[in-house]
Structure 1
Amino acid sequence: MKKISEFTGITENLLAFREEVKDAEKITFIGMPGVCSPFALLFAYVVKEKESVFISGTDIKSARKLKLTEQGMEFGESANPHADVVAILGGLAMPKTNIKPDEINKIIKNVLKKDGKLMGLCYMDIFREYGWDQKLNFDCIINGTLNGFILRK
């Protein structure tokens, strides 16, 4: 894969995602509950006009619709996860999850429509750090880097 552009900040991160899925009708996010689920809700918010679904870990039966409410995006009822874009969230690649790329590839085969787009959404280059970029056939990876500091009085 080659780098095609750069961005800074969460707003540009979200806009990069929105641009990548502009032609999609439905997006299914796959990630870890607690770690990835807030990010799925955030990314789904910037494409709130599209249908979005979240799968927890490797449990396809956990698929839930992401719906817009007065408070933002929230998890709704059970949903069919079959989509034209599947977005794999980086928390899946964290070693403590004990999830292997082969397990995710099986889910992708069942969820991603033919000629669909497989995306990676991650921070701190986790997919390349753990070799997932070589084991999943990503069409696109959007990677953000977090830098921070603490101020104290």
Structure 2
Amino acid sequence: MDSTQENPQILETSHGLSGMLRMFKATMTSQGMNPGDKIVFVGSAGTCVPFIELFAYTIRDSKAEMVLVPDGVLDDSRAIWWIPEIGMQIGGAVDPANADFVILLGGLSMPQSKIGAEGTNDVVKKILKPGGKVFGICFMDMFAKAGWYGKVPFDLVMDATIDPIRLQKLN
């Protein structure tokens, strides 16, 4: 692992869910997202899907093709699209190959995920087109804790901290 992987350079800081979503949209735009690009989100089935829908929502007007690959299982890939008055929806089977961007969610690096860094790299190699980019999105430094820096070819990683979490009784 090189020193840039061990001590990543902070490019931007934001706060809250809205800040994270704005950062994602701005990053996709600044990294060259164009109409017709294919953006493939790879994350854990169930837990990552609501976040994927939120991220996809921020770029819904981009005219990009969006795909979900749950748990890195390519045969289970599904289209993501905008339905007015409803939001982002996940549906029919689709081919994830030739992705301009692969967005890896931190759930893949959690201990209960079966794919691991090596399996994730296999998925990326199969679907990312030459010159495509790999972005990671995680919470609580999961990629670093799992030792993925230097093992997975991230171009950028967005890491969000959820702290503190409060449960309050008001009466």
1:128 aligns with 2:140: no
Equivalent in the alignment of 1:80: 95
What TM-score do the two structures reach when normalised by structure 2? 0.86
Note the C-alpha offset of 1:132.
Answer: 1.1
Q: 2:21 aligns with which of 14, 22, 29?
A: 14
* Cα RMSD for the two superposed structures: 1.1
Unaligned runs of 5+ in 1: none
Q: 1:58 aligns with which of 53, 60, 72?
A: 72
Equivalent in the alignment of 1:40: 52
1:32-90 deviation line (CA, Å, top 9, x unaligned): 11111111111000001222100011210111110111310011211121210000000
Structure 1 or 2: larger strand share?
A: 1
1:28 aligns with 2:57: no
Equivalent in the alignment of 2:5: none
Aligned residues: 153
Task: Give the partner amino acid of 2:16.
Answer: G
1:67 aligns with 2:81: yes
Note the C-alpha offset of 1:20.
Answer: 1.6
Looking at structure 2, the residues matched to 107 and 79 of structure 1 have their Cα atoms a distance apart, in angstroms, of 15
Looking at structure 1, the residues matched to 46 and 131 of structure 2 have their Cα atoms a distance apart, in angstroms, of 30
Looking at structure 2, the residues matched to 20 and 5 of structure 1 have their Cα atoms a distance apart, in angstroms, of 10
Looking at structure 1, the residues matched to 50 and 123 of structure 2 have their Cα atoms a distance apart, in angstroms, of 21
Give 3-state SS (helix, strand or coil) of 1:141's partner: strand
Looking at structure 1, the residues matched to 121 and 141 of structure 2 have their Cα atoms a distance apart, in angstroms, of 19
Task: Give the partner amino acid of 1:101.
Answer: A
Task: Report the identity percentage.
Answer: 33
Note the C-alpha offset of 1:2.
Answer: 1.2
Note the C-alpha offset of 1:99.
Answer: 2.2
